[in-house]
Amino acid sequence: MISLIGFSSLCLSTFFSILFLIPNSIFKINIKFFLLFFRFSTILICISFSSLITAYIKSDFSNFNVFQNSHSEKPLIYKIAGAWGNHEGSILLWLCMISIYGFLYSLMSKSLDDFKINVLKIQSSIFLIFAFFIIFTSNPFLINSVEVNEGLGLNPILQDPALAIHPPMLYLGYVGFSLVFSLGIASLLSKNDDKNWLIETKRWSIISWTFLTAGIALGSYWAYYELGWGGWWFWDPVENISLMPWIVGLALVHSLLMTRGEQAIERWIIFLSILCFSLSILGTFLVRSGILTSVHSFASDASRGLFILLIFFLTTGFGLLVFLVKSPIKKNHLNLLLINKTSALIINNILMIIAMLTILLGTIYPIIIEVLTNTRISVGGPYFNSTVLPVLLPGFLLMSIAPVLSWQSNKIKKFRVYVVFFLFLSFLALIHSYFTVFNTWGFLGLILGSWIILASIISIILRFKFLISLNYIKSINSFIAHIGVGLMILGITFSSIYQKEYSFNISVGEEININNNILKLENIKVVENKNYQSLMAVFSLRKKGELIDYILPGKNYYPVSKMITTEAGIYHDWLKDIYITLGNEEDSTWNIKIYLNPLVSFIWIGVCIMIFSGFIAIFKK
Amino acid sequence: MKYQYFFRYIFYFFFIFYSNSALSIDSLNDKVKKLTLELRCMTCQNQSVYDSDSDFAKDITTLVEDKFKEGLSEKEIKVFLTKRYGEYILFRPYFNIKNLLLWLFPFILLILSLGFFIKGLKKY
């Protein structure tokens, strides 16, 4: 019954979207009715998705999708999360969000009616394409052909709070770019010279970018404690795929913040909007078609892959075609000087695009080679580290000074202050590297990260006018975001280069001393939980005789799917993480791995600051 | 033209430290770590031999250690491993004709865009 409601509202909503596409010349709809129908269609698709969630909550195994991905003994939150923990449900969520973005846009937009209708029409054609995709290849409302009392269960690795909200966040980002895409195309099609679309594009791209940042961060935080590999970024193909729209989105946001009515930059902005959404779809194609090997495995199906590839070519082709035909030809020259704000912006955009293209090439290169020469190669972390990072380095260097450059001239404001501080900082970094093991990347990361932070702080102080108001915070927002990036660079540098790793075989009661941190294996216990058993090692962490905390690494066994997951035990500190994973037992000694990860917390703090300043920027006029 | 000194200074800095790192000599453990980080564990999902706990990874690690002790260089061990397991085992693909595009692409783009940027600069 629930499945029936879900499917019929999905179909109805699709039907309404077809209605919107009737050209004005045949049947002109009044704007009021148009908006009414659009919102009605959104409500229908929301009903459809909530009925899927209801089916999951009630463990309605007459629905085939629920039967395959759920189990009645799961905690409630994972029953809900199960709705988007599989291919069909997640595409329905994606579809639902396309519509919701259109809905919110129709409520908040202050554009002219014609423009608004154009945006919503493009949005609903995207909606339509994905709706057909769902109905024809991945319907979550199929009825189970046999009657069963129990489901097959959700992949245990997904049963985790961070991962439960990771897909919706990520999709809010990806799908948000669909609205940015629609805005870009609509602005090309619009006949009058209204600049309101720039303001709207800015708002929506910042919103999407912020959500995408949060989604990626959640995913990598999950990878940090769940995979138990000691790191948090592995250049996994799926990670790369999420990074590509993120980088382009970042370039887009920067271009939008910098535009001063130059036609060339406006064209560039439209191009980036098209690129962003295309990359989101391309990512979906690569993940869902199953041609990549990755931690993220979805039940793959050739017909689905083909369909998404079709969607990709359709939207990208359409977008680029409109871009080529309709884009303004009139050219006014950019104010490019050797070192002013416009050129800094352009260099930054170029570098980001090159980084994105490198990641794209590295991700699909194994596929190309396999098709052409029938040999398998892998392109992994070492490749990306030695190509993407050098490309980004000058960008990071530029980032610290870009906000103080001027628009019109070659001068840097308060140049001396910056040089003095930079000299001072490099001196400190030199001393630091003298007393520790010298490492080129470590040194570069240290100096870049701290320089970005310092330069941003100087800029904030120089702008301080003895009054902290919301406007002041808005005016220093870009510096705040850059401080976040600086902290992140520091965190990444330290946690990857100065990471220390130890491997021990110990038995219960033994103690280990690492840098005056005394770890004692107190005991090993087995805990029965609702849907899994967990084996936990209890470590006590003492420093100078005082008990600080217990660290509980372990393994969970999920009987439903007969899978074992590792759970890293982590002790968080501002300056370091003590990260323990539990290995196998041999002759009553346990193999454990201990990582000392310095400054990991900086990464998460940096990301939080970036997200925070993203939210501030949404309200900035 | 003050900023010229500024950039020259930064350039010198990086130059000195790049040349410095090339001279460093690694111990056996460091060499093994460096190499196994670049090898794919063939039985795992996108994990390096160094990070993995699987039997395959353990075998490869001991193999690499032995080969280093026999006096083989990193390059020779890589050649040995690719003969046995195929190029798929290397996370850092070889720099050869097949992978020319892969390796040169970012840097060609960088140089090209730099050229266009300089061409676009206003003459003053």
pLDDT digits (tens, 9 = 90+) for A396-433: 888 877 767 776 666 666 777 777 888 888 888 888 77
Q: So what's the pLDDT on residue A352?
A: 92
Query: Domain B27-92: what homologous superfamily?
Result: Cytochrome C biogenesis protein (1.10.8.640)
Per the CB < 8 A criterion, the answer to whether A223 and A566 are in contact is no
Judge: B18–A295 Cβ closer than 8 Å, yes or no: no
Q: Chain A residues with CB inside 8 Å of B13's CB?
A: 426
Q: What average pLDDT does the structure give for chain B?
A: 76
Complex ipTM: 0.78
Judge: B47–A439 Cβ closer than 8 Å, yes or no: no
Flag whether pLDDT at A178 surpasses 70.
yes
- In the predicted model, what is the mean pLDDT of residues B37-50? 80
The pair of structure tokens assigned to A443 is 């040194």
Out of A25-29, A40-44, A80-84, the most confident range is A40-44
- In the predicted model, what is the mean pLDDT of residues A330-344? 67
- How far is residue B22's CA from residue A437's CA, in Å, rounded to a whole number? 14
Q: Name the packing angle between helices A113-137 and A2-20 (round to 10°).
A: 140
- How far is residue A162's CA from residue A157's CA, in Å, rounded to a whole number? 11
Compute the C-alpha angle A565/A568/A569, nearest 5°: 140
Q: How far is A187 from chain B (nearest CA, A)?
A: 27
Judge: B88–A377 Cβ closer than 8 Å, yes or no: yes
**Lowest-confidence range among A395-404, A516-525, B78-87?**
A395-404
Percent with pLDDT over 90 in chain A: 21
Q: Chain B residues with CB inside 8 Å of A386's CB?
A: 92
When comparing pLDDT for A566 and A49, which is higher?
A49
Q: How far is A531 from chain B (nearest CA, A)?
A: 25
Flag whether pLDDT at B24 surpasses 50.
no
Out of A176-190, A443-457, A534-548, the most confident range is A176-190
Nearest Cβ partner of B13 from A334, A379, A426? A426
What does the domain layout of chain B look like in residue ranges?
Answer: 27-92, 98-124
Nearest residue in B to A584, CA atom: B53
Which residues make Cβ contacts (< 8 Å) with residue A320, sequence separation at least 6?
A: A274
Q: In terms of pTM, does the model score above 0.95?
A: no
Residue A77's pLDDT band, with cuts at 50, 70 and 90, is confident
Q: So what's the pLDDT on residue B1?
A: 47
Flag whether pLDDT at B99 surpasses 80.
yes
Q: What is the pLDDT of residues A1-36, one digit of tens each?
A: 788 898 999 999 998 888 888 776 677 777 788 888
- How far is residue A70's CA from residue A55's CA, in Å, rounded to a whole number? 10
Nearest Cβ partner of A382 from B6, B21, B91? B91
Flag whether pLDDT at B123 surpasses 60.
no
Nearest residue in A to B34, CA atom: A382
The Cβ of residue A466 has, within 10 Å, a number of other Cβ atoms equal to 5
**Lowest-confidence range among A211-215, A536-540, A553-557, B50-54?**
B50-54
